[in-house]
Amino acid sequence: MWRDLLPVGRHAGSGGYRRYAWTAADADCRAWFKAQAGARGLTYEVDRNGNQWAWLGDPLAGNAVVTGSHLDSVPDGGAFDGPLGVVSSFAALDELRHRGAQFTRPLALTNFGDEEGARFGLACVGSRLTAGQLTPEKAYELRDGDGVSLPQAMERAGHDPAAIGPDPERLARIGAFVELHVEQGRALDLSGDRVGIASAIWPHGRWRFDFHGEANHAGTTRLEDRRDPMLTYAETVIAARREARLAGALATFGKISVEPNGVNAIPSLVRGWLDSRAADESTLDTVVAGIEKAAMEHAERDGVDVRVTRESFTPVIEFEHALRDELNRILGGRIPVLGTGAGHDAGILSGSIPTAMLFVRNPTGVSHSPAEFAGEDDCVAGVLALADVLEGLACR
């Protein structure tokens, strides 16, 4: 499975993955998923929101056990964030068949669409639509960097955008969703464990800062005559770091766009996207308010206008204790339980159905980078743990 996925959407220069929603690379990932489902004789379907499903047993019977993750990536993402959960789902099913497991509940494997939000700016679009946390009207407004709207992109990829929207009947058929994911930190490396269970996801969100200044000549405009939005942006980045440090939170400007983007012109507009996360919502509010205040103060001084738009927000997620405890019991009761600052479809779905997550050790903790890594033995331990969990939940 890894050999087939290896070249898909891989950038030759960086070695990272560029698998963005509804692109050719995404279509290749989807074709791979469909082929894996077909090779195992599973019932394949795409739901109204473009998420892929592969069923063993009757999809309509109810109380299904579902496992999976996503195949899309951030810009120059690693091989494991997302695909490890999908590959492990198929491998766990193979393992269970090898064990001769008798299923008493339907089992489904999934690939949720557009988890990273790399193209349209909003993460977990597939699961948010399904759970009713994103309305079709709001989804229709999403645009990529080239101005292509989400419905246009879906249509071009052969998916009917008129169909998107909440899918409560589908969710009602699911008794438990378990997502396996590469750890995006070093907690398991430090504790010496191969596999962990998720406790909670930090609240997090994305804010767009638009700094409007005045374009002018870099060689002739006196410093005191400039209204340079890059300056205000730079001061805001430093303020973000300070606010996050003081609060024990995280704040990152990882994406920027500049107009007109000429080396010898003062910019007219700098747009920066803030990603901020904290252990609790009031800390996150304090951090973002502090960054906004600093941006306003510097903007005033620099003769720049600043506008801040919250593009997305995900509240704190505490995974259901009963399912979490059940996983730990199935796995022998000594599995470390850890929180994470990373968002996941399992977090979105936890508002509608019982969900849980398994993490697989990442020896460097690096993620959202081509250097992301998990060792083969740890990946195998993850597959076996997932197989044990599915067997414990769905078999007699």
Structure-token pair, residue 386: 């997932």
Told to check if 213 binds Mn ion by CB under 5 A, we report no
Decide: 70 and 111 in contact? Cβ < 8 Å: yes
- C-beta of 342 vs 386, nearer to ligand GLV: 342
To Mn ion, the closest distance from the beta carbon of 259 in angstroms equals: 29
To ligand GLV, the closest distance from the beta carbon of 272 in angstroms equals: 17
Structure-token pair, residue 354: 């019982």
Consecutive H or E run containing 109: strand 107-112
Annotate each residue in 89-128 with x if it binds Mn ion (CB under 5 A) or - if it does not, as one string.
----------------------------------------
To ligand GLV, the closest distance from the beta carbon of 123 in angstroms equals: 5
DSSP letters of 294-346? Answer: HHHHHHHHHT-EEEEEEEEEE--EE--HHHHHHHHHHTTS---EEEESS--HH
CA distance 213 to 269: 6
Decide: 382 and 358 in contact? Cβ < 8 Å: yes
**Angle, CA 43 vertex, CA 39 and CA 48 arms, to 5°:** 125
Q: Which residues bind ligand GLV (CB under 6 A)?
A: 116, 123, 342-343
- C-beta of 111 vs 236, nearer to Mn ion: 111
Decide: 327 and 211 in contact? Cβ < 8 Å: no
To Mn ion, the closest distance from the beta carbon of 286 in angstroms equals: 25
Told to check if 81 binds Mn ion by CB under 5 A, we report yes
The entry of Mn ion, ligand GLV, none that residue 85 binds, CB within 5 to 8 Å by partner kind:
none
Told to check if 78 binds Mn ion by CB under 5 A, we report no
Told to check if 372 binds Mn ion by CB under 5 A, we report no
- C-beta of 29 vs 342, nearer to ligand GLV: 342
- C-beta of 26 vs 116, nearer to ligand GLV: 116
The contact set with Mn ion (CB under 5 A) reads 81-82
